[in-house]
Amino acid sequence: MSSNRYSAYRIMWVLVFFDLPTETKRERKVAGQFRKKLIDDGFTMFQFSIYLRHCPSRENAKVHTKRVKRSLPKHGKVCILEITDKQFGNMELFHGIKEVDLPQPTQQLQLF
Amino acid sequence: MIKRTIYIGNPSYLKLKQKQLVVQEPETKEIKGTVPIEDIALLMLDHYQITISNQLLIKLQGNNVAVISCDEHHLPFGMMLPMYGHSEYSERIKHQLAASEPLKKQLWKQTVEQKIENQKALLDLNNKVSEPLAEYKLNVKSGDSSNREGIAAQYYWKHLFENFSRERFGEEPNNLLNFGYAVLRSIVARALVSSGMLPVLGIFHRNKYNAYCLADDIMEPYRPFVDKLVYNYVVSNNYYELNKDTKAHILTIATQDVFIDGVVRPLFVAVTTTTSSLYKCFTGDLRQIKYPELD
C-alpha cells in the first residue's frame, strides 16, 4: 500500500472529552445517552469520559466530529479534538508508574 | 476513504451491538474486537464454526457490505449483497436494461482494450517481451468479434509465468489467482450494486449459470492488478500455498494504488469510479468507460 494514502499525517484520531452533570436522574439519563451515541458512532472508551475514534482520513474525521456536535447535550462541557496519528503516537501513557502501550491504529485489513 | 476488509478465519460468534460488529470467541466468550459497521467494505467468513446473527446481516447489507463465505478449500464460494444499494435503483435499472446491443459491444471493446493494455504493462514491468500484445490491442473489433482477448491471454500467461497454464482448477499459482479474482469480483459486484446496477446482466458475459455477468465484464481490466500482486509474491517468496499469510497479502488488493481518470486512487475507490462511469455510458452522458491503467 502506498504510504501517502494511509499515512501518519492522514490518519486522524478524534477525541471527545466530556464533563456532564449527573446530579439528578434526568441528567444521568442525558449523560448516558450522549455516551451511548458515541459508542454507536464507533468511539471506544479511553478513560472515563474520554472517548476516541480512529478515522482513516481527514474527511472521515470531519464526519464524526460533526455527528458528535449534533448529539451534544444541553448542559455540561464537551471538548472535541482531532489530531493526526503522528501526534497521537507521541503520546506517553502510564498505568501507575509503569508505561503502557498506546491504542493501535486500526488496520485496513483485519484478521480475526 | 478506504473502507475496511475484515477476515474471520477462526471459530467466532459475530453479532451486532450498538451498531458495531462484535467478534466473540465462542468457548471463552471473550470479545476479540469490535468494528463499526459503516467502516466495513468486505467481510470474509472463512471457517465452518462461524455463527452470525440475522440482525447483524441486515445491518451489514444496509451498509452495502459484501459478505463472502468460503468453502472447504478456503476459496470464496458465495457472496451476499443487498438487493438495492442505490436510491435511484429503479431508474438506473431501466437505463441498464435499455442499453442497445451496439453500445454494449462498444463498451466490451473498450474493456478488452484496457485489459490487454494492462497485461502489456505488467509484462513490461517485469522486463518481458510484450510487443505482440500491443498489436492485439490495436485489432480489437466492436464486441471483440475476433476474440483478441483470448489470444492476448494465451500469450500473456505463457510469458508471465514459466511453464504455466491458467486454469480454474489448474496447478499453482492458479490457487492464488483464483482467490484474488474472487475477492476482486466481490469488490466489483459491490460497487455495481452501490451504483444502482444489476450485476446479473452483463455487457458481454451471458452464461445462464452465472449470477454476476456484469461484475465479470467490468473486472477484466482489473485482473492484471491481481496478477501483479500474486506475481510479486510468488517471485519474491517462491511460495504457492494458500494460507493465512498469502491470503492477507492478496486481500490488500483493495488498497493497491491504481491510476484512473488522471489521478491515483486505491483500487477499491477506482472500482466505484468505473461503475459510475459505466452508468453514464448507459444514459449516454459518456462515451468512454473509465478504467484503471497499470504502470
Instruction: Give B229→chain A minimum CA distance, Å.
Output: 11
B289 in any annotated domain: no
pLDDT > 60? residue B47: yes
pLDDT in tens, B147-158: 888 888 888 888
Q: Give which of B19, B24, B48 is closest to B35, Cα–Cα.
A: B19
Rounded CA-CA distance B122/B128 in Å is 9
Residue type, B221: P
Task: Out of B2, B12, B33, name the one closest to residue A108 (CB).
Answer: B2
Give chain B positions within 8 Å (CB) of A109: 4-5, 7, 248, 251-252, 254-255
C-alpha to C-alpha distance for B233 and B239, rounded to whole angstroms: 8
Domain of residue B222, CATH code = 1.20.120.920
> Which candidate from A44, A56, A109 shows the least CB-CB separation from B7?
A109
Query: DSSP string spanning B115-135?
Result: HHHHHHHHHHHTT---HHHHH
Residue A4, pLDDT > 60, answer no
Question: Which residues in chain A have Cβ-Cβ distances shorter than 8 Å to B35?
Answer: 106, 110
- List C-alpha distances in Å: B169 to B22, B68, B173, B175: 36, 20, 10, 8
B196 and B152 part of one domain: yes
Number of structural domains, chain B? 2
**B7 and A110 in contact (C-beta within 8 Å)?**
yes
From A36, A42, A112, residue closest to B9, measured CB to CB: A112
Measured distance CA(B68)–CA(B269) in Å, rounded? 19
- The answer to whether A111 contacts B7, with C-beta atoms less than 8 Å apart, is yes
- B285 min Cα distance to partner chain A (Å): 29
Mark which of B80, B109, B139 sits at the end of a domain. B80
Quote the domain boundaries for residue B18.
4-80
> What pLDDT is stored for residue A2 in this prediction?
45
Kindly report the CATH number assigned to the domain that includes residue B36: 3.100.10.20
Facing residue for A111 by CB, picked from B9, B34, B35:
B9
Residue B239 covered by a domain: yes
Helices B267-283 and B89-98, interaxial angle, to 10°? 70
Q: What is the pLDDT of residues B193-251, one digit of tens each?
A: 888 888 888 888 777 667 788 888 899 999 999 999 888 888 887 777 778 788 888 88
* Region A82-99 average pLDDT: 89
Query: Grid coordinates representing B144?
Result: 471483440
- Long-range residue pairs from A65-70, CB within 8 A, at least 24 positions apart, any chain: A65/A14, A67/A37, A67/A41, A68/A14, A68/A16, A68/A37, A68/A38, A68/A41
Separation between Cα atoms, residue B253 and residue B13, nearest integer Å: 27
Amino acid (one-letter) located at B250? I
The overall average pLDDT reported for chain B is 85
Q: What pLDDT, on a 0 to 100 scale, did the predictor assign at position A6?
A: 64
Element (H, E) at A84: strand A77-84
Domain boundary among B80, B111, B145: B80
Q: Is residue B295 part of a domain?
A: no
Q: Where are the domains of chain A?
A: 12-89
Q: Do B254 and A108 touch (CB under 8 A)?
A: yes
Instruction: Count Cβ neighbours within 10 Å for each residue of B93-119 and write b for 16 or more, e otherwise.
Output: bebbeebeeeebbbbbbbbbbbbbbbb
**Which fold is adopted by the domain A12-89?**
Alpha-Beta Plaits (3.30.70)
Note whether A110 contacts B5, CB cutoff 8 Å: yes
> Looking at the structure, do residues B73 and B95 belong to the same domain, yes or no?
no
Whether residue A2 and residue B4 make contact (CB cut-off 8 A), yes or no, is no
User: Using a CB-CB distance cutoff of 8 angstroms, which residues of chain A are in contact with residue B23?
Assistant: 112
Q: Using the beta-carbon criterion (under 8 Å), do B19 and A106 form an inter-chain contact? A: no
Domain-ending residue, one of B20, B52, B80? B80
Lowest mean pLDDT among A55-64, B23-32, B44-53, B143-152: B143-152
pLDDT at A92 exceeding the cut of 80: yes
Helices (H), B147-212: 148-160, 174-194
Is residue B180 in some structural domain?
yes
Q: What is the separation, in whole angstroms, between the first and last Cα of chain B?
A: 23
CB contact under 8 A, B2 and A111: no
Q: Cis check for the bond before B102: say yes or no (omega within 30 of 0).
A: no
Task: Choose between B82 and A24: higher pLDDT.
Answer: A24
B209 class by beta-carbon count within 10 Å (0-12 exposed, 13-18 middle, 19+ buried): exposed
Kindly determine whether residue B20 and residue A36, on different chains, have CB atoms separated by under 8 Å.
Answer: no
- Closest-CA distance, A6 to chain B, in angstroms, reads 9
